[in-house]
Structure 1
Amino acid sequence: MITTLRTDITIEEICKGFVYNELEGKGLFGLSGKLTIQPEYQRNYLYAKQKKEEAVIQSVLKGYPLGLIYFNKIGTDKYEVLDGQQRITSLGRFLTGKFPLLDTSGMPHYFGAMPDDQKKIINETKLTIYICEGTETEIKEWFKTINIAGIPLNKQEVANAVYSGPFVTKAKEEFSNSQNIVAQLSRQKSKIFIMN
């Protein structure tokens, strides 16, 4: 596998053209459409539920490093996120007004209404990104390796990453979609079974 270190890509560039699917809780695209933020082997966005997305923005404002981000190069000037999708989705959601920062008195402050100096800090912060190129096997093995730390993947999430493809994609559409009636009925049946 070949890796190339990039330290010249800003948050503003990553979030340009950011698309977020509210229904599914997925950050979909960024980097002017060149970056797939949540390829099929990635789990859904968790930081909003876990109240971590605000911490990502506060870290940027305080000058704290956000850690390494890994992209898989999938074509000429086309990438997908191997590691860092939770952080990138948090950044994109904030820059597009999906959530505010709360001050010490609990008042919300959205990106569009922030002072220019704070917007500049966020927009101009450069991220540390490794661009990875390799075979599908190498990329999937690397994905497993880099996801040992942080919020650990459960066994099913690891299996989804390693055994990705059309079947897994379709199954995720059906059963990971909280708005899907089939998934809702399945959960209801499970609850009834457990209660009995």
Structure 2
Amino acid sequence: MEIRTTKAAQLTYGLFYPAFFGNMIYDIVQALIDPTARVSGTHPGFLQGVELWIGLLLIIYFAIDYIHLYVDMKAADMTESKTPLYIICDILSSLLFFLAFVALKYHHANVSAVLVGLVPLVITFYKWELLKNGSELIVIVIFGVISTFSTIPYFIQSEKDYSYYYFCNLLSCVLFYTIYVFFLRAFLNKKANSVTS
């Protein structure tokens, strides 16, 4: 099983993540440099207005998730020992980000919001076995639950445009996840290590 897991890990982290990320970057750059695409707002496949900002936030969120994944792998030397559950969760989270971006690109912000709202839930499953630090697990579970529940308005009135709500919701997720990945994790791990020492 280890050889298969290693090949799956290489495929996931060497192909899926970079391919999805590259596609998202290409579409954003195209929307930024082609003024005719931004002016013709009805043209499917081009982001403009608040959708352009949401697209940029999705790319930042995706990049932070990849950095988080990379740090986890380096810290535990997990490229060789990842279980299929971890790899499935990693593929699923990258696929959710990509599909959310595609839905946004075709002006389905509500669908995009629901897809991206599920990412923290996937991260929660991923972290469940991995975390020995109970405080960090509690933070991740709360983040997953709040993010998932924040998608409820999209189901209540699916025909209503929630783009600005989505933008604010996504911005808060990106800010929280940035603080978690770059600061809070280290603080919680340091605190847990000082308690056990």
- TM-score under structure 1 length normalisation: 0.30
- TM-score under structure 2 length normalisation: 0.30
Higher helix fraction (1 or 2): 2
Higher strand fraction (1 or 2): 1
Query: Relative contact order (alpha carbons < 8 A, sep ≥ 6): 1 or 2 greater?
Result: 1
